[in-house]
Amino acid sequence: MNIPHVYNAFKGIGRLRLLESGEITAATVKNCDILIVRYVTRVDKKLLAGSRIKFVGTVSAGTDHIDLRYLKDQEIAFSAAPGSNAESVAEYVIAALLSLHERGRISIPEATLGVVGIGNVGSRVAEKAKTLGINVLLNDPPKRRTTGDKSFRPLSKLMDSDVITIHTPLTFTGKDKTAGLFGAERLAGLKRGAVIINSARGGIVCERSLKECLESGRLGGAVIDVWENEPDIDPGLVELADISTPHVAGLSQEARLAAVCMIYAAVCAHFGIPSVWNPSILRRAPLPCVRSPGETLYSVLHGAVRRIYDIEKDSAEFKLEVVKVPTAGAAFTAFRKRYLRRFEFSSRALALSGPARFVRVMRSLGFNPR
């Protein structure tokens, strides 16, 4: 089962059955009381009917794979892990922005960043981007309606952004539905040469239209972590994107641990079980980070980020694996299954040599400078 820490968390609660996602069926869960899944497992009547499941937990922030109405109707308790991966995904976006800057795709701080969805992740992305000096535009229609805050702009006002980054849930109904939000017409309406980043959910961006925009040069680039039809993704789009990763933006060690902790706490609370598991991430030795004469803030940041999380290495390895293995789906699944090396910026102290401004910026991004 590809949920780190789950055995240590739940081994004292009951008899465990650790299953791969493909092994989670109506037959295998029938006699279980608690079901804990990742986003790849669809939980609905087909899976749970006739079972004795009393609690469902997902270690993902999103819930589009869960039939919440069915759970409510059956009086099955439910818990997700919203916010557990927020820092991990936000740092992924910052790593992508710095990589795009180094490649000449964008120019920081002259670039304008449009952030679509200002929740746990989007709000962190916005603050970190502002720290870099980037002009940030915010879009969140539900928040604008509930707060009246005019800093939340209509999506049409973000179309001239140099970069659009998406942080909404995937929803299929209602006035704020996000499925197909960036279809052919909206993608064509973006600023020529713009870059789009999707680390939210596949299906928010129409991949056929995105592919056409990249092939024609209408858009300047793309960073894609989430895909339509996962794991059976489009290998051509994997190759076209500047950065392609297989839904790993939120899979830092810290995020994985936080998600399991949240579900463990919810299980204990629901069943009245004493909460005794209290793990932590081991901190590693400090890294030296020296600024060379004439080196810019952004080059220093790019170098520091790559020493802790090398998004470019992830992308290069994934793209190579997609070419080498029989199917893109097999590459997607294999890469995620062994993906355990990612840590967040705060995981290692940086012995930083440079002006006080550098230290302030790095601390604001989540680093632990000394």
The residue among 49, 50, 55, 15 whose CA lies nearest residue 37 is: 55
Which residue in 101, 247, 336, 348 is the catalytic one? 247
Which residue in 230, 254, 312, 344 is the catalytic one? 230
The residue among 264, 246, 257 whose CA lies nearest residue 84 is: 257
Tokens for 274? 């004493």
220 DSSP β-pair partners: none
Q: Identify the three-state secondary structure at position 318.
A: helix
Rounded Cα gap, residues 268 and 121, in angstroms: 27
Give the containing element (helix H, strand E) for 99.
Answer: helix 86-103
The residue among 92, 1, 95, 37 whose CA lies nearest residue 259 is: 37
Rounded Cα gap, residues 196 and 184, in angstroms: 13
Enumerate long-range contacts of 37-42, CB under 8 Å, 24 or more apart: 37/65, 38/2, 38/3, 39/64, 39/65, 39/247, 40/65, 40/230, 40/231, 41/65
Q: What is the largest CA-CA distance in the chain?
A: 68
End-to-end CA distance of the chain: 38
The residue among 266, 264, 37 whose CA lies nearest residue 29 is: 37
The beta strand positions in 268-367, using DSSP E, are 284-290, 348-353
174, 168 contact by CB (below 8 A)? no
The answer to whether residue 201 is catalytic is yes
The answer to whether residue 247 is catalytic is yes
What CA–CA distances, in Å, run from 126 to 19, 122, 220, 310, 368?
Answer: 38, 6, 21, 21, 20
Say how many C-beta atoms besides its own lie within 10 A of residue 320's C-beta.
11
Rounded Cα gap, residues 171 and 133, in angstroms: 32
The answer to whether residue 167 is catalytic is no
- Provide the annotated active-site residues: 201, 230, 247
